[in-house]
């Protein structure tokens, strides 16, 4: 049998949005610099066919760094006694939204550790208050594993989207990254619940997490194809000095960019952020992410005095820039590479996965 070239596999992925395991393996391990350029170009074409030059922005509000979990990779894990813990009040959160709204943000992402202080009623009240004051904005929650009833209560309160990275689709690998109380099974249950309730649902994983292999990455890619999420968050793993993974190497820029492009071809319409972690391992990481097929960036709207405390990993970028300053900088960066930041909710564009094939073939 004739061995298929990498370019043929990329063309096949554009058409069918999935590949057999061994073909994914070739893509992940056998690409020449020329193949890589081809992949990037195709991912960019698909992204343009769906979203044009638009880059969506999300205002990220890290509202608590208390966490009851003990994920081995995470800097705000419960057993990190050195973390300086904080919580924002509802009023502080609303102030972040007000600032963000004035700057043009129309999506607010509330992210935090799994903090029992914020029970369902408190979260629902915060969501209701944001939606009452900013009815034209979307609210995204990223607060971990909850029951079906909790997710439903937040949805009824007005939450539109939910980010819950699956972290790895391989259950043995999942156990290597998490304490025994957590399981891939429950993570997947949460993701299915979120989708069935009607959230635009986001999953995702770290690139280069400890014990990750090409095979576990293929598990992730096959899961993405199967689950059809509206959003996918991926970024390089970066060690944190007060975690068991302190001495592990960080994920690479190149692998993250390759995966962003592959994910764009698997899910042409997906909302795909160039993440903070990508911007942390390389000063031009976020631009390179957009050029690899990402279409979302999530600048930080958290108050200055808490930013340095939400440390998931070492050297997380939390510049002294005011939100306004950092946004105008970001606008310039995006214009510099031929893209533009738009002032809109930036919802998932529903439709078929066959995107204007004529324009890209």
Footprint of ligand SAH (CB under 6 A): 73-74, 111, 113-114, 142-144, 164-165, 167, 206, 235, 237-238, 240, 277, 312-313
How far apart are CB 240 and ligand SAH at their closest, in Å?
A: 5
- Smaller CB separation from ligand SAH, 140 or 261: 140
How far apart are CB 233 and ligand SAH at their closest, in Å?
A: 7
Burial class (CB in 10 A: 0-12, 13-18, 19+), 207: buried
What sign results for the dihedral spanned by CA atoms 247, 248, 253, 256?
Answer: negative
- Smaller CB separation from ligand SAH, 113 or 346: 113
How far apart are CB 6 and ligand SAH at their closest, in Å?
A: 28
236: which strand partners? 207
- Smaller CB separation from ligand SAH, 95 or 114: 114
- Smaller CB separation from ligand SAH, 73 or 108: 73
- Smaller CB separation from ligand SAH, 131 or 166: 166
- Smaller CB separation from ligand SAH, 51 or 245: 245
Closest CA to 64 of 118, 109, 27: 118
How far apart are CB 75 and ligand SAH at their closest, in Å?
A: 6
- Smaller CB separation from ligand SAH, 208 or 293: 208
- Give 106-152 as a DSSP string: -EEEEEE---TTS-HHHHHHHHHHHHHH-TTSEEEEE-----HHHHH
Report the Cα–Cα distance between both ends of the chain, in Å, rounded.
Answer: 26
How far apart are CB 176 and ligand SAH at their closest, in Å?
A: 14
Tell me how far CA of residue 146 lies from CA of 108, 116, 123, 334, in angstroms: 20, 11, 12, 36
CB 302 within 8 A of CB 61: yes
Provide the token pair at 310.
């939400």
How far apart are CB 201 and ligand SAH at their closest, in Å?
A: 12
Number of H helices, E strands in the chain: 15, 9
- Smaller CB separation from ligand SAH, 51 or 118: 118
CA distance 206 to 320: 26
How far apart are CB 186 and ligand SAH at their closest, in Å?
A: 12
Closest CA to 201 of 168, 165, 170: 165
Q: At which residue do the structure tokens 């004035």 appear?
A: 102
How far apart are CB 115 and ligand SAH at their closest, in Å?
A: 9
CA distance 353 to 349: 11
CA distance 319 to 77: 23
């Amino acid at each position: 049998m004739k061995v298929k070239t990498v370019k043929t596999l990329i063309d096949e992925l554009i058409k069918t949005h999935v590949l057999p395991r061994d073909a994914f393996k070739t893509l992940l391990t056998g690409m020449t610099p020329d193949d890589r350029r081809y992949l990037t170009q195709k991912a960019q074409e698909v992204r343009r066919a769906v979203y044009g030059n638009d880059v969506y922005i999300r205002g990220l509000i890290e509202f608590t760094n208390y966490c009851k979990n003990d994920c081995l990779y995470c800097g705000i894990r419960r057993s990190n006694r050195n973390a300086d813990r904080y919580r924002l009040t509802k009023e502080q959160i609303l102030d972040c939204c007000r600032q963000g709204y004035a700057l043009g943000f129309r999506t607010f992402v509330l992210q935090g550790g799994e903090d029992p202080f914020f029970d369902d009623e408190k979260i629902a009240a915060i969501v209701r208050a944001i939606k009452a004051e900013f009815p034209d904005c979307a609210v995204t929650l990223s607060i971990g594993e909850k029951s079906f009833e909790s997710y439903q209560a937040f949805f009824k309160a007005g939450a539109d989207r939910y980010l819950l990275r699956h972290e790895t689709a391989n259950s043995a690998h999942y156990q290597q990254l998490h304490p025994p109380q957590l399981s891939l099974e429950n993570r997947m249950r949460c993701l299915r619940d979120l989708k069935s309730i009607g959230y635009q649902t986001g999953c995702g994983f770290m690139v280069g997490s400890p014990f990750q292999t090409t095979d576990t990455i293929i598990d992730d890619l096959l899961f993405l194809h199967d689950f059809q999420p509206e959003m996918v968050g991926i970024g390089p793993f970066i060690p944190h000095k007060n975690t068991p993974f302190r001495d592990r190497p960080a994920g690479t820029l190149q692998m993250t960019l390759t995966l962003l492009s592959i994910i764009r071809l698997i899910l042409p319409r997906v909302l795909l952020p160039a993440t903070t972690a990508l911007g942390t391992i390389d000063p031009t990481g976020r631009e390179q992410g957009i050029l690899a097929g990402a279409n979302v960036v999530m600048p930080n709207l958290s108050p200055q005095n808490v930013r340095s405390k939400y440390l998931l990993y070492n050297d997380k970028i939390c510049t002294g820039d005011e939100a306004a300053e950092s946004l105008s900088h970001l606008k310039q960066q995006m214009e510099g590479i031929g893209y533009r930041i738009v002032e809109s909710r930036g919802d998932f564009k529903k439709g078929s996965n066959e995107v204007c094939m004529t324009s890209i073939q």
